[in-house]
Amino acid sequence: MPPKPDDILARVEKGLWAPLPGIPAQLAMAPEPRTGHKAYFEVEDTSRKAGVLVLLYVKDRRLCVLLTRRTERVLHHRGQISFPGGEQHPGESLEATALRETVEEMGLDLTAVRVLGRLTPLYIPPSNYCIYPTVAFIPGPLVFHVQPEEVEEVIEPPVDHLADSANVRRETWHYGGRDVEVPFYAYEGHKIWGATAMVLAELLALFR
């Protein structure tokens, strides 16, 4: 039987107030070889900053996390699975960026959202973005009114599904002109990989 959503949520929230698992946890789901090896603190002054929202909520009595599959019409990371989020506006906190972008992309009412904390920033070399994940909880179920230019599909994996090692796979892909070993979370035919998988790996490490 999967653990109760309240139990998982309590462990996540407690973990966010302790020293974070950080880059070692992220690297467990990093493709090898990775494009570039700079950590976020090495590029803070030169990268573009983006806020993303790791939104947790209850659906069908299980704690889920909100992901999207991006359309082929967006500028970066076309067709990939990601958290809602986007580039920080001048004078805006990264938490506010994550919430604003989620409302814009997903059409969600976030009035009842509760921010739990932040995960470790992660630098993405191909787009020169450094993403800053804000973790939040909102009671479900959620009603989406997605922005069709940006969101192709809403993906709602349960946290306990992602935490099950049976759902972690590895494949060799020919990517960027070379063979790359890619770890990913398998969920309903989707392969959740790259920066999204790395952020999820740190989230999941909070309650292991």
**Predicted local confidence at residue 54, as pLDDT:** 98
Task: Give me the pLDDT at residue 34, please.
Answer: 72
Using the predicted structure, report yes or no on whether residue 89 has a pLDDT greater than 90: yes
Q: Where are the alpha helices (DSSP H) in the chain?
A: 5-16, 22-27, 94-106, 159-163, 194-205
Band of the pLDDT at 128, cuts 50, 70, 90?
confident
* pLDDT beyond 90 at 7: no
Q: Compute the average pLDDT of residues 174-201.
A: 93
Which pLDDT belongs to residue 48? 87
Q: What are phi and psi of 20, to 5 degrees?
A: -75, 150
Query: Is the per-residue pLDDT at 74 higher than 80?
Result: no
pLDDT at site 38: 56
Q: Are 73 and 151 in contact (CB under 8 A)?
A: no
Give the global pTM: 0.91
Pick 46 or 14 by higher pLDDT. Answer: 14
If one compares 36 and 97, the residue with the highest pLDDT of the two is: 97
Q: Give the per-residue pLDDT at 72.
A: 57
pLDDT of residue 78: 59
Highest CATH level, class, for 5-205: alpha beta
pLDDT in the model for residue 76: 53
Res. 20: pLDDT tops 90: yes
Q: Cβ of 110: how many Cβ atoms within 10 Å? A: 16
- Per domain, the residue ranges of the chain are 5-205
Closest among 206, 202, 167, 208 to 52, alpha carbons compared? 202
Q: Is pLDDT at 37 greater than 70 in this prediction? A: no
Question: Are the C-beta atoms of residues 94 and 130 closer than 8 Å to each other?
Answer: no
Express each pLDDT in 139-156 by its tens digit.
878 999 998 888 889 999
Q: Please, are residues 116 and 13 in contact by the beta-carbon 8 Å criterion?
A: yes
Phi then psi dihedrals of residue 40, to 5 deg: -60, -35
**What average pLDDT does the chain have?**
88
